[in-house]
Structure 1
């Protein structure tokens, strides 16, 4: 049962990413905005409608429409009016926030679609693309661009530890950068040869060669985990790497470490950790038939940990369900695990908002219906509450254990 917490984003209908502070009285909404396309009526001398046209000339140019997209952050809460605290021209971006929402990092990517078709391909990265990282240390009231990050250096997401000082920047082409001073300086991390060879081969059949399939930065231990999908003699498998934290600038080679796990015939959706133990969401599907997200696709939960010889091994594997598209795996209190997403269907409605919930650390799962028309959601791992933004209100619910089988 959903209970209203406070009004928020009443005049904003964008879907995005929701963040709630520890006191549950402040919300931030991260989203991608596109300038509205409008039409005006064309009337004849009698005032009768004969046609319509774009209100402004740029609206008919798709390149200019894409160039007017922005990454934005809206702030609000109990007794607080909504306030736009961040706006940057970009077609995509991501963010990271500390638990108290005081420290926020935002990365953005802007491609000049008007310019890109007029210059040689080799010049596009430095002239038509702009990558930026911004930082706030006052809860999003003000943001400062990190000048240490060159605009041509690709970045997909930034991740930090609990202090907001030690972290990584994950880039395209499977690049990785580390900072020990809150983004003032960055050190590039060298990838394993197997990944470099894969990139050089330029295999984009499944669009899985450009980015890591999944990654996780443990905010307590500062260990960085990531998975990569490889084609091994015609069989696809996910390989998991672990990179321990180091403040030594010379310790910047993941290729010094061997992979810790291999998962055949599966794509790893997300990784979480608790000390040395790993919790993994995987999707088993037919790579040859490309049935990713199909109703027959199986979603699994796996647990791995090192043995006495300090070698990781799979300990548990549990089927969560079929036709699920889950995202981030949250770890709550009292053995609760939570992941929201969609359930696919061959019939209308083709997707439904659902959540996979476990009350016994993944040994059994239930599927909860989350409703529809949800703009954004988040899970509070201190209270085991789910928060959603819908219809201008932030609402919450407590997880309830029950048997649920979706048709």
Structure 2
């Protein structure tokens, strides 16, 4: 199996938006939507106005203050076309964000997260964060702020359709809505997934299957000699209010959970990308580099399942993410920092459900994403947007 070649589709992608960056873009033919987190633009005085001509001097005083620049980070939503350019329709303060969009792009949800870097950090290190939730019903052109407690973090938004979905945040915690985000119901999370001294703990991975099953993964350390450390995956059916065990991966930490497109008989496979070994522990092992060999496991969505480890990756690679396409296409994203120079972005690809793999050195990219419906991978190199179809 050989890797398909990259095809250039634009050399000026989002070039007019400053500061530079393509954002978390999605592409459908010539149409584009993008969620972008942006630092404020820093400008400098001309040489004639500087106190010292040898040193660059920001135009305004706040531009030389790190806390102030962080406070002015913004979250933007863009929509437009590759050849005609993109227009900003949403702009809110925030240093972090999550989003969801419907298949036809008619509905979008965005959560923004902002903290004040100018106030002293509390002794417990838990600086206050402000979370806001927004929804658009007209393709992102107009937005409504939904009722959401500002101290309730949202790290992920996963929806079945424009009205039914989940918000997942620190704790970890899970909430469900069936009315387009107007009301939310808290779902109880297993105590094994939480830690009393880590109120901002998150799941290691989360996925919403095509049948509405929410799966979450977390690591359970070895607390007793007869209890093995393992990655636990639990599932929550849409019509249930309680998580139940799905599978266990002994001695591993899950990096990503992904499900394939639903098959005609509603059966599908669940894939887990994981790292073999315990979590990194700087306190006990300060000199440990944290490198772990990666593995891929799979199981089905029906009945009691056992995960099968289908592949172990080269030990030099640090696994970053997983995409599952149609007709057996799997992509694993990894970083190789073992050679000279800058780390290289690697795409590992399989077209036979993980039985065989090819490795492609993609250099240094900025994304953008994989379209599972068409098996199309997009990559951004500066202003040059490329695609390849697996």
TM-score range, shorter chain: 0.7 to 0.9
Matches within 5 A, 1:84-103: 84-103=88-107
Q: How many residue pairs end up in the alignment?
A: 371
Is the Cα–Cα contact under 8 Å of residues 43 and 51 in structure 1 kept in the other structure? no
Q: What is residue 25 of structure 2 aligned with on the other side?
A: 18
- Measure the CA separation in 2 of the matches of 1:121 and 1:60: 28
- Structure 1 spans left out of the alignment, 5+ residues: 400-407
Query: 1:26: how far off?
Result: 0.8
Q: What is residue 252 of structure 2 aligned with on the other side?
A: 266
Task: Choose from 32, 35, 38 the match for 1:33.
Answer: 38
Is the Cα–Cα contact under 8 Å of residues 31 and 71 in structure 1 kept in the other structure? yes
Is the Cα–Cα contact under 8 Å of residues 294 and 344 in structure 1 kept in the other structure? no
Is the Cα–Cα contact under 8 Å of residues 236 and 287 in structure 1 kept in the other structure? no
- Measure the CA separation in 2 of the matches of 1:323 and 1:118: 38
- Measure the CA separation in 1 of the matches of 2:214 and 2:84: 37
Q: What is residue 281 of structure 1 aligned with on the other side?
A: 273
Q: What is residue 367 of structure 2 aligned with on the other side?
A: 376
SS of aligned partner of 1:63: helix
TM-score by length of 2: 0.84
Query: 1:121: how far off?
Result: 7.5
Matches within 5 A, 1:3-82: 3-6=7-10, 7-12=12-17, 13-14=20-21, 16-21=23-28, 24-40=29-45, 49=53, 51-82=55-86
- Measure the CA separation in 2 of the matches of 1:48 and 1:175: 53
User: 1:135/1:269 Cα in 2 relative to 1: closer, same or farther (>3 Å)?
Assistant: same
> Is structure 2 residue 191 aligned with structure 1 residue 193?
yes
User: 1:27/1:42 Cα in 2 relative to 1: closer, same or farther (>3 Å)?
Assistant: closer
Matches within 5 A, 1:376-395: 376-395=367-386
Matches within 5 A, 1:164-183: 164-183=162-181
> Is structure 2 residue 246 aligned with structure 1 residue 253?
no
User: 1:393/1:44 Cα in 2 relative to 1: closer, same or farther (>3 Å)?
Assistant: closer
Is the Cα–Cα contact under 8 Å of residues 293 and 344 in structure 1 kept in the other structure? no
- Measure the CA separation in 1 of the matches of 2:288 and 2:351: 25
Is the Cα–Cα contact under 8 Å of residues 165 and 183 in structure 1 kept in the other structure? yes
Is the Cα–Cα contact under 8 Å of residues 280 and 288 in structure 2 kept in the other structure? no
Task: Choose from 193, 200, 222 the match for 2:212.
Answer: 222
Q: What is residue 402 of structure 1 aligned with on the other side?
A: none
- Structure 2 spans left out of the alignment, 5+ residues: 261-266
Query: 1:314: how far off?
Result: 1.9
User: 1:390/1:265 Cα in 2 relative to 1: closer, same or farther (>3 Å)?
Assistant: same
Q: What is residue 142 of structure 2 aligned with on the other side?
A: 142
Matches within 5 A, 1:329-340: 329-340=322-333
Structure whose residues are more often strand by fraction: 1
Q: What is residue 364 of structure 1 aligned with on the other side?
A: 356
Is the Cα–Cα contact under 8 Å of residues 101 and 109 in structure 2 kept in the other structure? yes
Matches within 5 A, 1:104-119: 104-114=108-118, 116-117=119-120
Is the Cα–Cα contact under 8 Å of residues 294 and 323 in structure 1 kept in the other structure? no
User: 1:58/1:317 Cα in 2 relative to 1: closer, same or farther (>3 Å)?
Assistant: same
